Amino acid sequence: MKNHKIVLVRCGSVGTSFLYVSINQWLLPEYVLIDINHDLAEGNALDFADCNAVLEKAFVSVEVQGRLSCL
């Protein structure tokens, strides 16, 4: 089975809300954040990693990558 990930481009309010819903619905275990503001993406990744401890079904990872990694 292939290892699928959800890639979120732009970590604004809508993107972050989508990520929140995706994690709560456990769509996939791995997520990638891409934003021109690397600090914002990194902060969101750390916030979601913190919530992993209290979820019923934990996800594997939320990582931050540069936009060129999708090419």
Phi first, then psi: give them for residue 32, nearest 5 degrees.
-125, 130
pLDDT: which is higher, 67 or 71: 67
How far from chain centre, in Å, is Cα 6? 7
Ranges assigned E (strand) in the chain? 6-9, 30-34, 61-64
User: What homologous superfamily is domain 6-68 in, according to CATH?
Assistant: NAD(P)-binding Rossmann-like Domain (3.40.50.720)
What pLDDT digit, counting tens, does each position of 28-64 carry? 888 999 998 989 999 999 988 888 888 877 777 889 9
Asked if 15 contacts 9 with a C-beta cutoff of 8 angstroms, the reply is yes
Q: Parallel, antiparallel, or unpaired: how do β-strands 61-64 and 6-9 relate?
A: unpaired
Predicted confidence band of residue 24 (pLDDT cuts 50, 70, 90): confident
